Chain A
Amino acid sequence: MTLDPVLLSRLQWGWVISWHILLPAFTVGLASYIAVLEGLYLVTGEEIWFRISGFWTRIFAVSFGMGVVSGIIMPFQFGTNWSRFTDTAADVISPLLAYEGLMAFFLEASFLGVLLFGRRLVPPWAHFFAAAMVAFGTLLSSFWILATNSWMQTPQGYKIVDGRFEPVDWMAIVFSPSFPYRFLHNVNAFYITTAFVVLGVGAWLLRRGRAMEDARMMMRMALDLLILLVPLQIFLGDQHGLNTLEYQPAKVAAIEGRYDTAQPAPLTLFGIPDDAAATMHAAIEIPYLGSLVLTHSLNGAIKGLKEWPADQRPPVGPPFFAFRVMVGIGVIMLLVVIVGQVLQLRGRLWDSIWFLRLCQLTGPLGFVAVIAGWITTEVGRQPWTVYGVLRTADSVSPSLTGANVAWSLAFYIVVYLIMFPTGIAFMAGLVRRGPQQPDLEAPVSQIESGRPHEPFDSAARAAPQL
Chain B
Amino acid sequence: MGLDLVPLWTILLGLAVFYYVVFDGFDLGVGMLYGLVRGDAARATVMNSIAPVWDGNETWLIFGGLGLLAAFPLAFAIIIPAVYFPILMMLLALVFRGVAFEFRFKHPALRTFWDTAFCGGSLVATFAQGVVLGTFIQGFNVDGRHFVGTSFDWLALFPLAIGLALMFGYGLLGACWLVLKTEGELQDWARRAAAICLVAVLAAIAAVSIWTPLAHPEIARRWFSWPNIAFLSPVPIVTALIALGEWEALRRRHELTPFLGAIALFLMSFIGIAISLWPMIVPYRYTLWEAASAESTQAFLLIGTLFLLPVILMYTAWSYWVFRGKVHATAGYH
Contact = CB atoms under 8 A, between A and B. Distances in A.
B80 A76 contact: yes
A109 B63 CA distance: 13
Interface in B39-75: 44, 48-49, 51-53, 55-56, 58-59, 61-63, 65-67, 69-70, 73-74
A282 interface: no
Interface string A154-185: 00000000000011101000000000000000
Interface stretch (B83-91, B211-219, B251-259, B264-272): B83-91
B112 interface: no
Contacts of A429: 106
Interface residues on B, range: 35 or more
A393 interface: no
Contacts of A116: 52
A103 B303 CA distance: 13
B200 interface: no
Nearest to B92: A415
Contacts of B66: 75, 94, 97-98, 100-101
B69 A78 contact: yes
A9 to B, nearest CB: 11
A170 B65 contact: no
Contact of A75 (B62, B81, B92, B316): B62
A344 interface: no
Contact of A73 (B56, B91, B105, B323): B91
A328 B323 CA distance: 48
Contacts of A86: 69, 73, 76-77, 80
Contacts of B101: 65, 455
A451 B95 contact: no
Given A86-B73, A117-B323, A109 B59 contact: yes
A74 to B, nearest CB: 9
Given A102-B312, A106-B312, A72 B62 contact: yes
Nearest to B89: A411
Contacts of A170: 296, 300
Interface string B282-319: 00000000000110110011001100110010011011
Contacts of A83: 76-78, 80-81, 146-147
Contacts of B85: 404, 407-408
Interface string B175-197: 00000000000000000000000
B327 A69 contact: no
B281 interface: no
Interface stretch (A38-46, A257-265, A375-383, A441-449): A441-449
Interface stretch (B29-37, B148-156, B162-170, B235-243): B148-156
A195 interface: no
B14 interface: no
A110 B102 CA distance: 17
Contacts of A102: 63, 304-305, 308-309, 312
A146 interface: no
Nearest to A79: B80
A118 interface: yes
Contacts of B65: 75-76, 79
A117 B69 contact: no
Nearest to B105: A454
Contact of A94 (B78, B106, B297, B305): B297
Given A401-B151, A415-B96, A95 B297 contact: yes
B55 A450 contact: no
Majority DSSP secondary structure for residues of B touching A:
helix
A66 interface: yes
Contact of A76 (B51, B87, B96, B99): B87
Interface-central residue, B58, B78, B95, by most chain A CB under 10 Å: B95
Contacts of A275: none
A426 B151 contact: no
A450 B323 contact: yes
B319 A110 contact: yes
Contacts of A407: 85
Contacts of A404: 84-85, 151
Interface string A78-113: 111101101100111011011111110111011111
A62 interface: yes
A69 B151 contact: no
Nearest to B82: A399
Contacts of A109: 55-56, 58-59
B323 to A, nearest CB: 6
Contacts of A443: 331
Nearest to A163: B145
A83 B73 CA distance: 9
A148 B147 CA distance: 25
Given A90-B77, A398-B146, A419 B301 contact: no
A329 interface: no
Contacts of B67: 98
Given A449-B323, A449-B325, A166 B296 contact: yes
A168 B53 CA distance: 39
Contact of A80 (B49, B87, B102, B327): B87
Max chain B C-beta neighbours (<10 A), residue from A80, A167, A170 = A80
A400 B56 CA distance: 32
B18 interface: no
Nearest to B327: A449
A373 to B, nearest CB: 26
B103 interface: yes
Contact of A101 (B51, B59, B87, B327): B59
Contact of A65 (B69, B99, B146, B293): B99
Given A116-B52, A118-B52, A423-B102, 10 more contacts: A72-B95, A99-B301, A102-B309, A106-B56, A106-B308, A110-B316, A114-B322, A166-B296, A399-B82, A408-B85
24 contacts: A73-B91, A75-B66, A78-B80, A79-B65, A79-B79, A83-B80, A90-B77, A97-B66, A97-B69, A98-B63, A98-B67, A106-B312, A106-B315, A107-B315, A111-B319, A114-B319, A167-B294, A398-B147, A404-B151, A407-B85, A450-B323, A451-B49, A453-B330, A455-B102
Interface of A: 61-62, 65-66, 68-73, 75-76, 78-81, 83-84, 86-87, 90-92, 94-95, 97-103, 105-107, 109-114, 116-118, 121-122, 166-168, 170, 397-401, 404, 407-408, 411-412, 415, 419, 422-423, 425-426, 429, 443, 445-446, 448-451, 453-455
Interface of B: 44, 48-49, 51-53, 55-56, 58-59, 61-63, 65-67, 69-70, 73-74, 76-82, 84-85, 87-88, 91-92, 94-96, 98-99, 101-103, 105-106, 145-151, 293-294, 296-297, 300-301, 304-305, 308-309, 312, 315-316, 318-319, 322-323, 325-331
